[in-house]
């Protein structure tokens, strides 16, 4: 075996990395510098070996450098900014320092500083986006004489891609003759900043339909709302890889009807009319995407009769498709829904939340959790 020179190997490795490195003895004399530091300062290894750490620091930071050096401990310090006296100009570096085996190690990498700057900027932007997204979630849901709503929302990450809304349709002077409630859930692809902003676009567009298109007293069709949304979505030119799954329902108290339209929410909502009468609201079409031919993005309404005390469970796929120990929550959810459907919506949601928390047993939530429960008290 050829002679192995560990020092030479270490020097070769430190010459390959991008960190700027200086090693000094306890008096501050530079005993080693790597290529990155030499290149940055425009000084050779020999020139640096003839200097002390304080010699390569700008006079403006002389006192700061002295305190930095004498304060070295075995644990790396926080990063500090210094001005260096390079061959051609004054240069800035952010450095850490630590002490080991009678040597002082000084190192830094401006890429890390830039990374930290970008990361902090992104954290601020995400924090602001979270606040905006949460403001677009309803603060309170309708609670009327004949119907009440409750919801559960748990984002898989700090910034979620689900959105829901419930509101009573404003029919102006004809309000005495109509009592209609719109409930929708949107599940957009991903969980980041772009997904949250797209979810907000969904809500704003659906709300705009009722400002721009809805005529009081006119037949209210979820499919018309869906097609209006698709028209606006295509106009916006969202990338092909984005997907929007959207369920829209209209609960008409006066006509005792539930009308719904489903674009891609393949986890069927549940309508429980009474004990043993559980209906899965299927008829799901394709999700909405610019990658899908517009002729295929056609949806139809499904109409069901409502009975007194019926309960509607609308959810995105995050809740039933959550897994724990290879088991999906879906079957457990259906069984529990059949047991608690006669309760008030807020109690139903609380029971499901408690059961779901017990089910996942501290496992990470894989997808956004959204559930809306509507309970008819009397029709």
Give the Å distances, CA to CA, from 113 to 15, 81, 86, 117. Answer: 20, 10, 20, 6
pLDDT tens-digit series, residues 260-302: 999 988 888 999 987 768 888 887 889 999 999 988 999 999 9
Q: For the chain, what is the total number of helices (H) and then of strands (E)?
A: 9, 17
CA 44 to chain centre: 49
Are the CB atoms for 180 and 169 separated by under 8 Å?
A: yes
Pair 297, 286: CB distance under 8 Å = yes
pLDDT score of 4: 52
Segments of the chain scoring below 70 in pLDDT = 1-16, 133, 158-160, 190-192, 276, 378-379
Q: pLDDT tens across 96-136, in order?
A: 999 998 999 999 887 777 777 778 877 777 777 777 767 77
Structure token digits, residue 222: 């979820």
With 0-12 CB in 10 A as exposed, 13-18 as middle and 19+ as buried, what is 164?
A: buried
In the prediction, which pLDDT does 219 show?
Answer: 84
CA distance 107 to 370: 48
* Alpha-carbon Rg for the chain in angstroms: 31
Burial of 33 (0-12, 13-18, 19+ CB in 10 A): buried
- pLDDT value for 1: 43
90-100 and 302-305 beta bridge pairing: unpaired
**Residue found by looking up tokens 């990155």 in the block:** 36
Question: What is the per-residue pLDDT for 13?
Answer: 66
| 147 and 377 Cβ atoms separated by less than 8 Å | yes
285 burial type by CB count under 10 A (0-12 exposed, 13-18 middle, 19+ buried): buried
- Residue labelled with tokens 């295929």: 296
Q: How many CB atoms lie within 10 A of CB 268?
A: 20
Question: What are the structural domains of the chain?
Answer: 6-108 (3.30.450.20), 135-376 (3.60.40.10)
């Amino acid at each position: 075996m050829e002679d192995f020179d560990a020092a030479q190997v270490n020097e070769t490795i430190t010459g390959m990395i991008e960190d700027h490195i200086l090693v000094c003895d306890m008096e501050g004399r530079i005993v080693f510098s790597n290529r990155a530091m030499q290149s940055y300062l425009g000084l050779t290894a020999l020139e640096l070996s003839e200097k002390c750490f304080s010699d390569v620091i700008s006079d403006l930071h002389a006192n700061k450098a002295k305190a930095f050096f004498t304060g070295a401990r075995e644990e790396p310090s926080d990063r500090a900014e210094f001005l260096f006296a390079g061959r051609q100009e004054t240069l800035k570096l952010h450095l850490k320092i630590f002490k080991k085996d009678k040597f002082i190690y000084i190192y830094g990498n401006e890429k890390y500083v830039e990374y930290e700057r970008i990361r902090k900027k992104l954290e601020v932007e995400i924090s602001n986006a979270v606040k905006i997204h949460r403001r677009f979630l309803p603060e309170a849901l309708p609670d009327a004489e004949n119907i009440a709503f409750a919801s559960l929302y748990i984002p898989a990450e700090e910034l979620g891609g689900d959105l829901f809304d419930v509101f009573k349709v404003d029919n102006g002077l004809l309000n005495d003759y109509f009592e209609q409630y719109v409930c929708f859930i949107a599940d957009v692809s991903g969980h980041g900043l772009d997904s949250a902003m797209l979810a907000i676009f969904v809500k704003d567009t659906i709300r705009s339909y009722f400002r721009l298109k809805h005529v009081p007293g006119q037949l209210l069709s979820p499919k018309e709302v869906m097609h209006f949304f698709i028209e606006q979505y295509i106009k916006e030119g969202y990338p092909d890889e984005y997907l929007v799954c959207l369920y829209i329902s209209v609960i008409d108290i006066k006509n005792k009807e539930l009308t719904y339209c489903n674009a891609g929410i393949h986890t069927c909502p549940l309508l429980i009319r009474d004990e043993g009468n559980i209906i899965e609201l299927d008829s799901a079409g394709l999700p909405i995407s610019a990658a899908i031919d517009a002729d295929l993005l056609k949806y139809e309404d499904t109409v069901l009769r409502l009975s007194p005390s019926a309960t509607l469970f609308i959810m995105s796929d995050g809740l039933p498709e959550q897994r724990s120990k290879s088991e999906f929550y879906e079957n457990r959810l259906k069984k529990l829904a059949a047991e608690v459907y006669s309760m008030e919506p807020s109690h139903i949601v609380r029971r499901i939340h408690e059961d779901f928390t017990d089910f996942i047993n501290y496992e990470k939530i894989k997808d956004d959790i959204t559930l809306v429960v509507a309970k008819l008290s009397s029709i």
